[in-house]
Amino acid sequence: MNSTYSLEDLRYLMQRLRDKETGCPWDIQQDFRSITASTIEEAYEVVDAIEYGSKEDVKEELGDLLFQIIFYNQLAEEEGSFGLEDIIHTLTAKLIRRHPHVFPQGNLNAKRTTALTEDDIKAQWEAIKAQERQQKKKPSLLDDIPVGLPAITRAVKLQKRATAVNLDWPSAWAVFDKVDEEITELKEAVAAQDACAIEQELGDVLFSVVNLARHLKVQPEGALRAANKKFSVRVEGVHALAKQKDIDLLQASAKVLDDLWRQVKASNL
């Protein structure tokens, strides 16, 4: 028995799981579509381990994510569409093509002789992406931004792509003004009790806040996750403090609740 398992061992394990006669019934039933939810879940668990776990947790979750790739590869090999070597080749070729400032003339082993500025690299990147869209018959500026992305992630990608045609705010301060404008419009929709307009204007507020985060060079998804964590800790703190003071939160007045919240907040929770 090997003391350390290899990638080939993992591929063999996947083949065994999918064996029609001796494999796992659940794994045998799966297809490309059925495991997509698990792939998304595993990706988020990697992020969670990076932010809140140990390196052991990160290692384990990366393994779970890798297993998703091995699973897709097995499905593809069974139908004869592609294999792991094809995945690796396609990825490597794409990364070499997209980084000519690192790999001159598309040569993996070539060394660069001149340095480009960050703006030059960004312009080069957008030109390469545009060429790829043309080759994939997706000439539209936004065609290759998946609709199924989480809304915040897609908003960031849409906004970044718009900068390629100079559709962007000149500074973060200009975006602050836009956020204020959208909040005013949301208040007007609320005052009018127009449910459709409220949803639309709230969406505009959120989109503008994402734009502000981008201009401030903050990842909105990460910032919101941090806010979620802070809120969770404070809610638990209020709950514990209320229990300590024998206060029924369901019967407490707004003032009592506010006092409890302020006490927890003051303790830097």
Q: Is residue 132 part of a domain?
A: no
Distance separating alpha carbons of residues 39 and 149, to the nearest angstrom:
13
Residues comprising the chain, all counted: 269
pLDDT of 54 reads: 94
Q: Is residue 138 part of a domain?
A: no
- Looking at 46, 66, 82, the residue that finishes a domain is 82
Q: Is residue 61 part of a domain?
A: yes
Q: Which are the contacts of 222, defined by CB distance < 8 A and separation ≥ 6?
A: 51
- Looking at 82, 114, 134, the residue that finishes a domain is 82
pLDDT of 2 reads: 62
Give the structural domain span for 245.
220-266
How many domains, the chain?
A: 2
210, 200 contact by CB (below 8 A)? no
Q: Is residue 16 part of a domain?
A: yes
pLDDT of 269 reads: 67
Q: Which residues of the chain have pLDDT under 70?
A: 1-2, 138, 269
C-alpha angle with apex 181: 180 to 184, nearest 5 degrees? Answer: 85
Residues 188-233 have pLDDT tens digits of: 999 999 999 999 999 999 999 999 999 999 999 889 989 999 999 9
- Looking at 22, 52, 82, the residue that finishes a domain is 82
Distance separating alpha carbons of residues 174 and 181, to the nearest angstrom:
11
Tell me the percentage of the chain whose pLDDT exceeds 70. 98
SS (H, E, C) the chain: CCCCCCHHHHHHHHHHHCCCCCCCHHHHHCCCCCCHHHHHHHHHHHHHHHHHCCHHHHHHHHHHHHHHHHHHHHHHHHHCCCCHHHHHHHHHHHHHHHCCCCCHHHCCCCCCCCCCCHHHHHHHHHHHHHHHHHHCCCCCCCCCCCCCCCHHHHHHHHHHHHHHHCCCCCCHHHHHHHHHHHHHHHHHHHHCCCHHHHHHHHHHHHHHHHHHHHHCCCCHHHHHHHHHHHHHHHHHHHHHHHHHCCCCCCCCCHHHHHHHHHHHHHCCC
Q: Which are the contacts of 227, defined by CB distance < 8 A and separation ≥ 6?
A: none
CATH number for the domain that contains residue 17: 1.10.287.1080
Q: Is residue 36 part of a domain?
A: yes
Q: Is residue 70 part of a domain?
A: yes
pLDDT of 146 reads: 86
Q: Look up residue 21 and give its DSSP letter.
A: T
Distance separating alpha carbons of residues 252 and 257, to the nearest angstrom:
6
* CA max distance for the chain: 72
Query: Tokens 């964590």 appear where?
Result: 229
Distance separating alpha carbons of residues 50 and 261, to the nearest angstrom:
29
pLDDT of 218 reads: 95
pLDDT of 7 reads: 96
36, 44 contact by CB (below 8 A)? no
Residues 115-139 have pLDDT tens digits of: 888 888 888 887 887 788 778 776 7
For residue 256 the two structure tokens come to 């009592």
Express the helix, strand and coil content of the chain in percent, nearest 5 each.
Answer: 70, 0, 30
Distance separating alpha carbons of residues 211 and 139, to the nearest angstrom:
25
Distance separating alpha carbons of residues 45 and 64, to the nearest angstrom:
9
Q: Is residue 72 part of a domain?
A: yes
